[in-house]
Amino acid sequence: MRYYSTRSKAEAVSFAAAALTGLAPDGGLFVPEEIPQYPRYVTASLGSMGFHAIAFETIKPYVQGEIPDPVLEDLVLQAFSFSAPLLPVGDRLMLELFHGPTAAFKDFGARFMARAFSYVRRGAEKPLHILVATSGDTGGAVADGFYGIEGISVTVLYPRGRVSPLQERQIAGLGGNISALAVEGSFDDCQRLVKAALGNESLKKRLALSSANSINVARLIPQAVYYAAAAGKALAGTLDPDGEATPRVKDRGAEGGVRSGSTPLLTVVPSGNFGNLTAGLYAMKMGAPIQGFIAATNINKTVPDYLASGKYEARVSQATISNAMDVGAPSNFERMTAHWSYEALRKMILGVAVADEDTRQAIRRVHDTCGYFLDPHGAVGWEAADRLQGLLPPGPLAVLATAHPAKFAETVEPLTGPVPVPLSLKKVMERRVDARIIPADITALLEVLS
């Protein structure tokens, strides 16, 4: 598989080059030259295949010729040491993506990327320095995924005061080969600084640089795995039991009538930078039984407005309680439109924007009626689905639960009472935050990195 920039098809590069470079030289994002198709035996077996087998089959064509099959099998086993259960909540499904070490969906991409980087850089003389911007969960997942990986250091930029206390401890509490910068600005400022640094010729001469945001194709591709696995289960009518981290009220089992079996899955994706939804589009185009998506945003509704009008207008992000989605200029929009036209995207995606008060009401309502705790991002997805009731096609509906509600206890608990805390998060709150504060200025970042 070869990769080219979203801004030019003049020069194609390998998976390793695309992953390690992060951002294309012309400022574009790397995309595969084609979206491969699952072999027929895979699409026929998605409902019965194990998660690791689906992960191997999903990732394999994107790294063919660069990561041998036995190595890829081992990388998949190491990276995905946790589950992604699909289980019923009320009259719909929840795809729980928070059973990894940082209790957020970004564990899937970050852990695979760290191990893939380590393999493709084996024998390299120059250490690799990774820059990553985060609006919340990405930083913690990347920090954990790369922590202790020899020959690789990471600098995480996050908007000061705009992440939760727990998220900040995940980002800035590890030390070692992980450094944290608290930027006086928004996530968009952090993302702008990372892009500017990655494109700085003087810095690139001194350091081997890469990125770990969803702008990096090595983090995006593994996220297609859980879409395919969930769609296979939904089509087969096979659901999972609650996991250790499932935030359901004790002694309250699954209730209601869930639409599942025989019909492709409709997926509700809480969306900010749109890497997660792009991965879902990849899974759909590979042949996973998915009939479409609901892109659920908070008031940072750049993409829902585009889907409604055909006009894309980037904006300054606004702070909300679903902070990981506070993105006014989503990077992966460029990747989406490199693959699909406006008309094609409208056929696959419905866009809905949800304000904070409606998010809070959804958290309270789902807890009271279903005995289930939603985090603010999952609540945006749930509310978006509620608003489209009666307008959606028949079949199973799954909301992506992208982060555990205990990560946002200060928002959730006033609405629900105490949130159960998974084992993965209990030790995090004991960490001490160690971050350097910088202005949202490229000169300040270059000074830190020099």
Domains of the chain and CATH, by start: 83-104+219-422 (3.40.50.1100)
Question: Exposed/middle/buried for 159, CB within 10 Å: 0-12, 13-18, 19+?
Answer: buried
pLDDT of 337: 97
Question: Exposed/middle/buried for 25, CB within 10 Å: 0-12, 13-18, 19+?
Answer: middle
Please give the single-letter amino acid code of residue 344.
A
Q: Please say if the pLDDT value at position 368 is more than 90.
A: yes
What would you report as the CA-atom Rg of the chain, rounded to the nearest whole angstrom?
A: 20
User: Which of the 8 DSSP states describes residue 436?
Assistant: E
Please give the single-letter amino acid code of residue 144.
D
The mean pLDDT value for 251-275 works out to 79
pLDDT of 252: 66
Query: Active-site positions?
Result: 106
The mean pLDDT value for 130-152 works out to 89
Q: Which of 15, 93, 418, 106 is nearest to 265 (CA)?
A: 93
- 436-439, strands of its sheet edge to edge: 208-211, 128-133, 152-159, 178-184, 436-439
pLDDT of 130: 93
Helices 69-79 and 51-63, packing angle to 10 deg: 130
pLDDT of 254: 59
Residue-averaged pLDDT of the chain: 93
The mean pLDDT value for 348-372 works out to 97
Using DSSP's 3-state secondary structure scheme, residue 273 falls into coil
The mean pLDDT value for 420-437 works out to 92
The mean pLDDT value for 77-100 works out to 96
Q: Please say if the pLDDT value at position 256 is more than 70.
A: no
Query: Of the given ranges (35-39, 163-167, 258-262, 328-332), which has the lowest mean pLDDT?
Result: 258-262
pLDDT of 259: 56
pLDDT of 187: 85
Rounded to 5 degrees, φ, ψ at 268 are: -100, 120
Q: Please say if the pLDDT value at position 21 is more than 90.
A: no
Per-residue burial over 258-278, b = 16 or more CB atoms within 10 Å of its CB, e = otherwise? bbbeeebbbbbbbbbbbbbbb
- How far is 323 from 190, CA to CA, in rounded Å? 14
Max Cα distance, the chain (Å): 60
- How far is 425 from 439, CA to CA, in rounded Å? 30
How far does Cα 277 stand from its chain's mean position? 8
Structure tokens at 68: 């041998």
Helices 137-146 and 106-120, packing angle to 10 deg: 40
> What are the C-alpha distances in Å from 7 to residues 52, 116, 224, 339?
34, 25, 23, 12
Query: Of the given ranges (133-137, 175-179, 381-385), which has the lowest mean pLDDT?
Result: 133-137
Are 415 and 376 contacting, i.e. CB atoms less than 8 angstroms apart?
Answer: no
pLDDT of 241: 94
- Percentage above 70 pLDDT, the chain: 98
- Percentage above 90 pLDDT, the chain: 80
Task: Indicate the helix (H) or strand (E) that contains 282.
Answer: helix 275-286
- How far is 304 from 309, CA to CA, in rounded Å? 9
Q: Please say if the pLDDT value at position 255 is more than 60.
A: no
- How far is 377 from 296, CA to CA, in rounded Å? 9
- How far is 247 from 258, CA to CA, in rounded Å? 19
Are 192 and 183 contacting, i.e. CB atoms less than 8 angstroms apart?
Answer: no
* pLDDT single digits (tens) 163-182: 888 889 999 999 999 999 99
Angle at 83 between CA 228 and CA 331, to 5 degrees: 55
The mean pLDDT value for 143-153 works out to 92
Per-residue burial over 369-383, b = 16 or more CB atoms within 10 Å of its CB, e = otherwise? ebbbbbbbbbbbbbb
